[in-house]
Amino acid sequence: MEIFGTPILHTVAELRHWSRQKRNENGHTIGLVPTMGALHAGHASLIRAARASCGAVAVTIFVNPTQFGPNEDFARYPRTFDADCAMAQREGADVIFAPSVEELYPSGATTFVEVEGLSNRLDGASRPSHFRGVATIVTKLLIAAEPDRAFFGQKDAAQVAVIRRMTADLRLAAEIVVCPTVRDPDGLAMSSRNIYLSPTERAQALTLSRALRHVEVLVAQNERRAEALVAAARNAFAAEPAVRVDYIALVDWATLEPVEIAVPGSLCAMAAYVGSTRLIDNVILS
Ligand code: PAF
């Protein structure tokens, strides 16, 4: 089947066949861009990065049930398949992989990938099975597509840490490429969940990027103490009581363990509820 001229694959066997054919017959490197659909400019940048460095590019569209908690937004997660296919094609995808839940989780499946330690930190602390679901689905996609490179956004920095650890531990061949967070002109990090925000909430959501800017300004003034940096970020939220902080943390990006003193490469990450919408954002300190 094709939509807008881009083939849509539905089974793991089809994706694996496509990838092997592109590599063995055409000599291409394979790029994989895993997504849950509802594509926006952030995803477009991942597809463009894959297009720029790989001979053949697969974009996956799969709303992965195992990374949602029981009271989370799996059922209402935005599903915009036709628009996603149009964007994927426009940005240079050669193929779209859109499997069913049964294809990736065959009936009776009991195998999961758990990255111990990391999976309980940051988002994992408030979303207990989230990273187990992410690690499991990304492993399945990497095994199916056998890519040379897989592309992820820095906005999900904790997810990146989990995926890097998981690919290293399992000795998977794919290089994990991390692309910068794409923001609206006013600073709001692009997210498929921004669609849930009312106009008032959207304005309130700017507190996250504003807080991160405060942190960056302090770092530029040579403040390195995590306590002071996190306090500065918390202050930004004090001005917006409608936004409820889930966490603000300064951590080592590889281990997600808290650090006391920021060094170049430390991750300042946060999550907050704006109304019922949970948003995340972060900055890598320079
Ligand atoms: O970042 C996402 O959209 C998802 O967590 C991912 C990596 C596609 C796995 O479902």
Residue-wise pLDDT tens digits, 103-147: 999 999 999 999 999 999 999 999 999 999 999 999 999 999 999
Residue-wise pLDDT tens digits, 259-281: 999 999 999 999 999 999 999 99
The rounded Å distance from CA 31 to ligand 1 centre is 15
If asked whether residues 267 and 130 sit together in one domain, one would say no
Nearest Cα neighbor of 247 from 237, 262, 255, 260 is: 237
* In-domain check, residue 226: yes
If asked whether residues 64 and 132 sit together in one domain, one would say yes
Consecutive H or E run containing 49:
helix 41-53
The rounded Å distance from CA 230 to ligand 1 centre is 27
Tokens coding 17:
């066949």
When divided into structural domains, the chain yields a total of 2
Contact 77, 38 (CB under 8 A): yes
3-state secondary structure 209-237: HHHHHHHHHHHHCCCCEHHHHHHHHHHHH
The atom number, within ligand 1, closest to the CA of 34 reads 8
If asked whether residues 152 and 51 sit together in one domain, one would say yes
* In-domain check, residue 120: yes
Q: Which of 179, 203, 230 is the last residue of a domain?
A: 179
Question: Where residue 5 falls among pLDDT bands split at 50, 70, 90?
Answer: confident
CATH number at residue 198: 3.30.1300.10
Residue nearest to atom 1 of ligand 1 (CA): 35
Q: Which of 10, 28, 43, 130 is catalytic?
A: 43
If asked whether residues 58 and 173 sit together in one domain, one would say yes
Q: Is 43 a catalytic residue?
A: yes
The atom number, within ligand 1, closest to the CA of 163 reads 7
Determine the structural domain holding residue 95 and report its residue range. Answer: 2-179
Question: Where residue 282 falls among pLDDT bands split at 50, 70, 90?
Answer: very high
pTM: predicted TM-score of the whole model, two decimal places: 0.97
Residue-wise pLDDT tens digits, 210-254: 999 999 999 999 999 999 999 999 999 999 999 999 999 999 999
Question: Where residue 1 falls among pLDDT bands split at 50, 70, 90?
Answer: confident
Nearest Cα neighbor of 64 from 14, 112, 119, 24 is: 112
* In-domain check, residue 131: yes
Residue-wise pLDDT tens digits, 181-208: 999 999 999 999 999 999 999 999 999 9
Residue-wise pLDDT tens digits, 75-87: 999 999 999 999 9
If asked whether residues 218 and 163 sit together in one domain, one would say no
Ligand 1 pocket residue status of 34, Cβ below 6 Å: yes
* In-domain check, residue 11: yes
